[in-house]
Amino acid sequence: MSLYFFEPTLECARQLDQNDRLSRFRSEFYLPPTSIYMDGNSLGLLSKRAEKTLLESLDDWRELGIGGWSRGNHRWFYLSERLGEMSAPLVGAAPDEVIVTGSTTVNLHQLVATFYQPEGKRTRILADELTFPSDIYALQSQLRLHGYEPDTHLIQVRSRNGRFLEEEDIIAAMTDEIALVILPTVLYRSGQILDMERLTKEAHARGILIGFDGCHSIGAIPHSFSEWGVDFAYWCNYKYVNGGPGCVGGLYVNRKHFGRHPGLAGWFGSKKDKQFDMEHTLTPAETAGAYQIGTPHILSLAPLIGSLEIFAEAGIENIRRKSLHMTRYLMDLLEHELPNMGFVIGNPRDDRRRGGHISLEHEEAARICKSLKENGVIPDFRAPNMIRLAPIALYTSYAEIWKAVQTLKNIMEEKQYKKFKNEREVIA
């Protein structure tokens, strides 16, 4: 039964916090002492457990040297596989279908190099015009490596309104010239969730492989990649999963593709018992581990051990339920407190279609974000006119959401934002 209710008062916010079954995890995180953090969809906060497992790996290095690969608190040689098992519940996969390795773009290059096999008239890749730019850069690069011009061979589905994508438009673009489809699970600007199950079914009905970028959904919403038959997926772990800046990413490969030779081979993709035979013929792992390339970045992996322990205890379904309540509460407050101030809520209202953040559009968005930071609220700006606000289920309180909206209201009423230029910083 839902415990959500709404009144535009601090007392209501405090009551929601009292009813919150996940509130105990808030004390697990290092919260900024003088600000309200609403940017967890860009970089999650450090947890005490993540700090602990990082320090344990440093202890292993200090005490054991090279022995840390096979002994110590967290055996480095098997750490990527262990974290893959811990990540599997977040994506709805079997443990051996997930590996924690690389970065988002490196993993995309690996997967496209493996699964993009142009043949006959099937030579084009299908993406969309709203996806994160790094994905497009990688797809353009892969097409050029195959001798194709991106202008003709990268098909990008258009948005009807600049905010959302329609599944019908994506499906209509799945022609007999498409060899591969790459789409986001959640659009990074508007927070729209795509119907991954439907899109996978439609792609497969046309003989097309399909993969998803899960950067803006992993750790925020449940997935069922294996059940849906998704061919592959890739993501970062520094947003909702709270793995730390530059944290190692993750990838999923459906077991029906096990045995396929990785497009970009490296020695950490070897079967574990063969890796140190030092042969010049690769014997790939018989799991998603085959898609590793180089030696894992241990000190960027280690915080994930502690972070994923928290997710196992909290449960992704519980996290999603609270996230939906918090984003709904934030939207209700925004509409109640900020009428006729030029704001447009640019994310889906439907719970089934809304990811983990709210997209607030305003023509003065850049300078409003600067004013929010000055007043102790940390938002995220996306050009040209979007303020992204992400209440995080594991560590944001309803009272903080209420205070953030009151701060925004004061900024607008007093026109505090006007002292700033309406242009983004170097890092937005």
Q: Is 213 annotated as a binding residue?
A: yes
Q: How far is CA 291 from the centre of its chain?
A: 20
Q: Is 276 annotated as a binding residue?
A: no
Q: Is 176 annotated as a binding residue?
A: no
Q: Is 137 annotated as a binding residue?
A: no
Q: At what angle do helices 298-314 and 48-64 cross, to 10 degrees?
A: 140
* Per-residue b or e along 324-353, where b marks 16 or more CB atoms closer than 10 Å to that residue's CB: bbbbbbbbebbeeebeeeebeebbbeeeeb
Q: Is 146 annotated as a binding residue?
A: no
Q: Is 169 annotated as a binding residue?
A: no
Q: Is 216 annotated as a binding residue?
A: yes
End-to-end C-alpha distance for the chain, whole angstroms: 39
Q: Is 238 annotated as a binding residue?
A: yes
Picking from 84, 158, 145, the residue whose alpha carbon sits closest to that of residue 118 is 145
Q: Is 135 annotated as a binding residue?
A: yes
Q: Is 231 annotated as a binding residue?
A: no
Q: To the nearest 5 percent, what fractions of the chain are helix, strand and coil?
A: 45, 15, 40
Q: Is 60 annotated as a binding residue?
A: no
Which residues have C-beta within 8 Å of that of residue 306, sequence separation ≥ 6?
Answer: 47, 48, 49, 50, 51, 52, 53, 54
Which residues have C-beta within 8 Å of that of residue 277, sequence separation ≥ 6?
Answer: none
Picking from 12, 43, 131, 5, the residue whose alpha carbon sits closest to that of residue 392 is 43
Inter-residue contact 123 to 153 (CB < 8 Å): yes
Task: Give whole-number Cα distances, 369 to 330, 342, 373, in Å.
Answer: 17, 15, 6
Q: In whole angstroms, give the CA distance from residue 291 to residue 100.
A: 10
Q: In whole angstroms, give the CA distance from residue 300 to residue 283.
A: 27
Q: Which residues are annotated as a binding site?
A: 104-105, 132-135, 213, 216, 238, 267, 295
Q: Which residues are annotated as a binding site for pyridoxal 5'-phosphate?
A: 104-105, 132-135, 213, 216, 238, 267, 295
